[in-house]
């Protein structure tokens, strides 16, 4: 395992600049190269699934290898070139080498009338096709005449080495109970809706590995969107069902907004679903909230499908559909902003830190109250004035003792700290010192509910 | 099995006229004759339980066979005669052939002071007795003198062929999961509170057998009230517990009111309990709602008893106790009205049709989202403008796709379409096209929760 | 088993006067003597746990036997003497026989600056220490000089006969399902916060044994506070889990307030948790309500610990912390008042009587409605006017019949009479006659939910 170097904003920017020009897709050399670059900072273990493999209701597509893609106007001028922009070619285009009239070419051209200077991002993974994307200003002015379309590309089946690649690794915690942090790699040169997620994921890995202790084990996962999370669930879904407390999909973490936005998991009752609104109100995290919807979003749709129902929500800043650059060339570094990624990573780290003491714990001495006195957690001399006067147990001491008693009384493995704090009449974070004291006294541990239970 | 002819309002009226004069009771020839007449239209399979059989806490009474019942005044004038009205004799009267003074006769006479022209309907099933019913105007003017009471009747025990008869049949659907439609036969010449239920049941059988498809299997049951449903549960209760989604008891479906009234099942959470208020509001079914009460009503009291708790509600129009004719001779065809029966059958058919797609379904491909694209249910070319511009997926197409995703995401066999529509922000009926598409694609099926679960 | 004599207020006062001067602690001869005195009235079976025994997270302390405790001023005047007051010595003090300066003595002196005439009650069970308690007025005026402290006391380990004593007994009811009534003995000469509980417990035993019938079995338990309930749970906790419906800890039942106060159990859903607010409102019991807190209180904290979660609440009048005499010599008979104990016992008896018919029952004939007619609980002649006119079934008869039907319909062993009365639209106590009728007809019995379920 590599000991990765620290990641600051400069590292994020250098990573961005190296990753942005690569022609990624849901399979292929661009994806593999991107994973290798990220592995300098996060020790992802790489796995792959062969093209043609049946994965639940899906089939892993043949691996796409694109070598050249150019479109020439009748006058010989280049209209689109993969060398200039990875968006110029419809992702997953098959080979073509033809001369065609404008009418013949038209169905293969994609542009955005509403954003005449932007190049759209178009894919056709599951139906063989080919095409070019270009600004509508150019597209609208094309003259009649004979165009030349050249695409050199292969679709490589599994028996010839075609495959879908992904990576994952964990930062072990004191408990085998896991929190999933997942993002995706598959869009070529897009910034917010591609690189923001993996870069924040890398920053979070760097931050969490420095924590003095981790109660939860953190699982970092990166894969192409949709078919990649399906492959991951196909291979590791049962593990996740056995171990996961909750999870977050990271997407679109740059952009203009000041605050982050949390999309609840399908169940609406996961650890994050319960903790984020309360922590947000009490600690001012600055999160907006969205309900789960299965009709848009990212890989949380797969993680939350009813056969898994894994309690995975999603964190974003400027959500798909909320900004003009969604799936086109306006989604660039200037829009995304490196400092926004840094801020996103900071906020999510803080959320994770607070969440460490927001879930369900288990009282390890549940038959009667434990004897706190013999552990120095309770006064041994019991008198009326002691509680009122003794300097050892002034206001703070008493509040701590009271909170320890609340935590012990309700930590039955099913009641989380959100609920216990409500009963104790204090903020959730005020329970953390009590939790730590009790953990040190070996009276409390993170609960590890059986498979299927969600904290 | 007879292929029954279509039933129009005229058929209902002819049936009514044939059934009305028969002297029915909870056992006996009048009941059997009535079942045979109904079998021309509904292929009821007939069963019986011998008199004297212990049925749960009850004992099936001896079969009552009444041959003649007449009461003469001192002047020889006939005061009451079974030939003129089946209400003239107390139902289940034993034999008598006596001359008596008015004082001796008085305890055997029944009349309604508040409705002096009406003949009451009186029964004494479980305590041997005899009596006559007559208008209070007649009763009040009776002179002193010697009366003659003649009743020729038998009570036939099980060892001599005495029995209680009932009938049932099913219209099979795609799922073995059943919906029960139950009514009763046992009151002699009453219209709303006797024949309205069986006639609407016959009309519903005729309507449902014409449906192009039935998801649920529909079970049609007819028996004497109370002791009949107890016998049915005694024989078929375990079957019902294993198969029933929900049920409806049909009673008092004619009369003056414009709307129908639904009495919830004991659990308050059956398929109909959940669907009717929402469908009523969204589709304007025109149903009034009543809570379950165990103190009045019909056979839903037996179906919902805590040992069965079958989720059976009740549908009525003018409820017992709401009209003057309840259990007396004012409850006739003029009050009931054939057109009201027709209207009741129409409304209930519509309810059943809507309910077919209101319950719990199961996503058959629950691990990840199914690949809708390969089934033509999702565009294969993915680009920002596709969703906005393409003619294939204009507003309707997108709404349909979104609803398919909602249905798939939440169809875990426990969440019904009432809840899914609430989440999707659309009327329940708007999910039906999505359900049908997904059924055709073999991605969805009606859920068949284990015994005891209620959808 | 002794047949205990009746207990009136005079008996309570005589008991009080005999018990008050004894030097009780959580172990030792004073505790044993007190138990023997109470056994004249309540046939407690005595048990003990040897000192040094590990009990859950605790260890039973060595038995404390105190023989003499005196403190002399430099001028030879006695400042504190166990003979005068059992509060004079710190409870569990070890032996000492020393002359000391005032500075050396100071850490061993306890007084209450805010209540300068009161002697505080101080204990040091789990840390060996010694000390004297005296009025602050005396303490503040002590001159410099040489004092003499003499304490003759032993701490006797389990191998030499040291032990912790407690007692318990039951009043059997028709059902093995139990209600726990528990109080404590361990404070020496305190009134409200010591003797009020055991004396009310004795009065309740005397009252309940005179009841014509008891549905529940009542378990009376008395032990030292905290370590005593832990010992009791250690020995009998599994029994309680198997049998307990709910329980009450009795404490501080004298004092100034007019009403009693109920502290809910940890679950908030025990029989008493559900019944008391409703009965209080409907019957004017005069109970104040407190939520469960694990940070103060009495043995309900142990009974409700998450490993047991026994649904035990607490009843008090003037609660610890609400009166100046808490844990000092002001807590005497004049403050406590014998007539208040009598009133507390009366109110709690009434509560228990009402609670007998407030829990969950089981319909013993749950398949269909039972045939009430054959038991004389329903009219056999069925006619419209019968319900309206017959003298047998006037308003009261009908209400009774309706309530029987509600009780039968919902008595599935999980639905309590609080909920059934809500559905029936009547006060909880209005169901009692229906319950009794149905019990006599062997159609209903107190539910005996499996271990863990709480009514």
Question: pLDDT per residue over A182-231, tens digit each?
Answer: 999 999 999 999 999 999 999 999 999 999 999 999 999 999 999 999 99
Q: Which residues in chain B are closer than 8 Å to C402, comparing Cβ atoms? A: 295
pLDDT at B398: 85
Q: Is A384 on the interface with C (CB under 8 A)?
A: yes
Residue C104, token pair as written in the block: 């050396």
Under an 8 A CB cutoff, do B307 and C409 touch? Answer: no
Under an 8 A CB cutoff, do A373 and C328 touch? Answer: no
Q: Which residues in chain B are closer than 8 Å to C408, comparing Cβ atoms? A: 294, 305-306
Q: Is B407 on the interface with A (CB under 8 A)?
A: no
Q: Is the pLDDT of residue A437 over 50?
A: yes
**Complex prediction ipTM:** 0.91
Under an 8 A CB cutoff, do A383 and C233 touch? Answer: no
- Give the pLDDT band (50/70/90) at residue C5: low
Residue in A with minimal Cα distance to B387:
A321
pLDDT tens-digit profile of A33-92?
Answer: 999 999 999 999 999 999 999 999 999 999 999 999 999 999 999 999 999 999 999 999
CA distances to A46, B419, B428, C248, C264 from B359, rounded to whole Å, are 44, 9, 10, 45, 40
Nearest to A379 by CA among A367, A366, A363, A397: A397
Q: Is B156 on the interface with A (CB under 8 A)?
A: no
Under an 8 A CB cutoff, do C409 and B301 touch? Answer: yes
Contact assessment for residue A56 and residue B367, using Cβ atoms and an 8 Å cutoff: yes
- Contact residues for C362 (Cβ-Cβ < 8 A; gap 6+): C411, C412, C413, C444, C445, C446, C447, C448
pLDDT tens-digit profile of A350-396?
Answer: 999 999 999 999 999 999 999 998 888 877 666 544 443 444 444 56
Chains with at least 3 CB pairs less than 8 angstroms from chain B: A, C
Q: What is the DSSP letter of A144?
A: S
- Contact residues for A384 (Cβ-Cβ < 8 A; gap 6+): C112, C120, C121, C326, C327, C328
pLDDT tens-digit profile of B196-240?
Answer: 999 999 999 999 999 999 999 999 999 999 999 999 999 999 999
pLDDT tens-digit profile of C277-288?
Answer: 999 999 998 899
Nearest to C53 by CA among C163, C165, C184: C163
pLDDT tens-digit profile of A293-327?
Answer: 999 999 999 999 999 999 999 999 977 767 788 89
The span from the CA of B354 to the CA of B427, in Å, is 11
Under an 8 A CB cutoff, do C112 and A385 touch? Answer: yes
Q: Which residues in chain C are closer than 8 Å to B182, comparing Cβ atoms? A: none
Q: Which residues in chain B are closer than 8 Å to C363, comparing Cβ atoms? A: 305-307
| Dihedral angle over CA of C224, C225, C227, C233, nearest 10 | 90
Q: What percent of chain C has pLDDT over 90?
A: 88
Q: Is A391 on the interface with C (CB under 8 A)?
A: no
Q: Is B409 on the interface with A (CB under 8 A)?
A: yes
Under an 8 A CB cutoff, do C56 and A365 touch? Answer: yes
Q: Is C294 on the interface with A (CB under 8 A)?
A: yes
Q: Is B329 on the interface with C (CB under 8 A)?
A: no
> Angle at Cα C434 formed by Cα C429 and Cα C436, nearest 5°?
95
Residue in C with minimal Cα distance to A398:
C295
Q: Average the pLDDT over B380-384 and give the result.
A: 60
pTM of the predicted structure, to 2 decimals: 0.92
pLDDT tens-digit profile of B149-183?
Answer: 999 999 999 999 999 999 999 999 999 999 999 99
Contact assessment for residue B182 and residue B128, using Cβ atoms and an 8 Å cutoff: no
The span from the CA of C60 to the CA of B7, in Å, is 85
> Of B367, B374, B382, which is closest to A237 when you measure between CB atoms?
B367
pLDDT at B113: 93
Q: Is B369 on the interface with A (CB under 8 A)?
A: yes
Q: Is the pLDDT of residue C412 over 50?
A: yes
Residue in B with minimal Cα distance to C362:
B306
Burial class (CB in 10 A: 0-12, 13-18, 19+), B161: exposed
Largest Cα–Cα separation, chain C:
100
Q: Is A112 on the interface with B (CB under 8 A)?
A: yes
Q: Average the pLDDT over C94-108 and give the result.
A: 97
Chains with at least 3 CB pairs less than 8 angstroms from chain A: B, C
SS3 C314: strand
Residue located via tokens 């999910």: B431
Q: Which residues in chain B are closer than 8 Å to A328, comparing Cβ atoms? A: 384
Per this entry, what is the length of chain A? 455
The span from the CA of C182 to the CA of C242, in Å, is 17
Q: A412 φ, ψ to 5°? A: -100, 15
Distant-in-sequence contacts of B339-344, Cβ < 8 A, 24+ apart: B339/B9, B340/B196, B340/B253, B340/B254, B340/B255, B341/B9, B341/B12, B341/B196, B341/B199, B341/B200, B341/B203, B341/B253, B341/B254, B342/B9, B342/B12, B342/B203, B344/B196, B344/B200, B344/B253, B344/B254, B344/B260, B344/B315, B344/B317
Q: Is B64 on the interface with C (CB under 8 A)?
A: no
Under an 8 A CB cutoff, do C367 and B237 touch? Answer: yes
Nearest to C90 by CA among A372, A374, A371, A383: A383
Q: Which residues in chain B are closer than 8 Å to A326, comparing Cβ atoms? A: 384
Q: Is the pLDDT of residue B387 over 50?
A: no
Q: Average the pLDDT over C383-391 and give the result.
A: 44
Residue in C with minimal Cα distance to A410:
C306
Nearest to A123 by CA among A133, A113, A137: A133
Under an 8 A CB cutoff, do C380 and B127 touch? Answer: yes
SS3 C243: helix
Residue in B with minimal Cα distance to A111:
B385
Residue located via tokens 């001896």: B62
Ranking B395-399, B440-444, C355-359 by mean pLDDT, the lowest is B395-399
Residue C378, token pair as written in the block: 């329903």
- Give the pLDDT band (50/70/90) at residue C392: very low
Per-residue b/e over A110-145, b at no fewer than 16 CB within 10 Å? bbbeebeebbbbbbbbbeebbbbbbbbebbeebeee
Residue in A with minimal Cα distance to B378:
A126
Per-residue b/e over C82-112, b at no fewer than 16 CB within 10 Å? beebbbbbbbbbeebeeeeeeeebeebbbbb
> Of C363, C366, C381, which is closest to B129 when you measure between CB atoms?
C381
SS3 C333: helix
Q: Is the pLDDT of residue B359 over 70?
A: yes
Q: Average the pLDDT over B85-108 and give the result.
A: 96
pLDDT at C386: 41
- Contact residues for B290 (Cβ-Cβ < 8 A; gap 6+): B261, B262, B263, B264, B319
Distance from CA of B422 to the nearest CA of A (A): 12
């Amino acid at each position: 395992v590599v000991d990765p170097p620290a990641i600051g904003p400069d590292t994020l920017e250098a990573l961005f600049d190296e990753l942005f020009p690569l022609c990624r897709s849901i399979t292929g050399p661009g994806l593999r190269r991107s994973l290798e670059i990220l592995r300098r900072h996060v020790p992802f273990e790489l796995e792959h699934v062969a093209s043609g493999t049946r994965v639940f209701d899906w089939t892993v597509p043949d691996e796409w290898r694109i070598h050249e893609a150019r479109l020439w106007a009748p006058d010989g001028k280049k209209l689109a070139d993969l060398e200039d922009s990875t968006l110029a070619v419809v992702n997953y285009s098959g080979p073509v080498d033809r001369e065609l009239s404008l009418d013949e070419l038209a169905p293969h051209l994609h542009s955005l009338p509403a954003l005449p200077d932007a190049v759209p991002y178009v894919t056709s993974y599951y139906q063989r096709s080919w095409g070019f994307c270009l600004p509508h200003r150019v597209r609208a002015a094309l003259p009649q005449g004979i165009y030349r379309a050249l695409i050199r590309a292969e679709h490589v089946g599994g028996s010839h080495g075609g495959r879908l690649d992904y990576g994952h690794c964990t930062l072990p915690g004191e408990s085998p109970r896991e929190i999933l942090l997942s993002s995706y790699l598959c869009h070529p040169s897009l910034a917010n809706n591609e690189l923001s997620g993996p870069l924040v994921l890398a920053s979070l890995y760097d931050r969490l590995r420095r924590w003095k202790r981790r109660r939860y084990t953190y699982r970092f996962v990166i894969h192409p969107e949709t078919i990649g999370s399906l492959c991951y669930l196909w291979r590791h879904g049962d593990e996740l069902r056995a171990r996961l407390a909750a999870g977050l999909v990271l997407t679109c973490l740059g952009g203009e907004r000041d605050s982050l936005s949390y999309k609840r998991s399908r169940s609406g009752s996961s650890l994050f679903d319960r903790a984020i609104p309360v922590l947000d109100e009490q600690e001012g995290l600055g999160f907006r909230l969205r309900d789960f919807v299965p009709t848009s979003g990212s890989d949380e749709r797969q993680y939350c499908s009813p056969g898994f129902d894994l309690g995975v929500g999603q964190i974003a800043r400027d959500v798909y559909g909320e900004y003009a650059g969604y799936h086109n060339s306006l989604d660039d570094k200037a829009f995304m902003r490196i400092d926004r990624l840094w801020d996103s990573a900071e906020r999510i780290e803080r959320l994770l830190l607070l969440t460490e003491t927001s879930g369900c714990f288990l009282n390890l001495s549940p038959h009667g109250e434990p004897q706190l006195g013999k552990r120095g957690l309770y006064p041994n001399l019991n008198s009326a004035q002691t509680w009122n006067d003794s300097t050892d147990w002034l206001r703070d001491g008493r509040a701590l003792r009271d909170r320890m008693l609340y935590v012990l009384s309700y930590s039955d493995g099913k009641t989380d700290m959100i609920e216990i704090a409500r009963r104790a009449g204090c903020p959730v974070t005020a329970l953390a010192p009590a939790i730590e004291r009790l953990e040190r006294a070996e009276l409390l541990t993170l609960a590890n509910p059986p498979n299927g239970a969600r904290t």
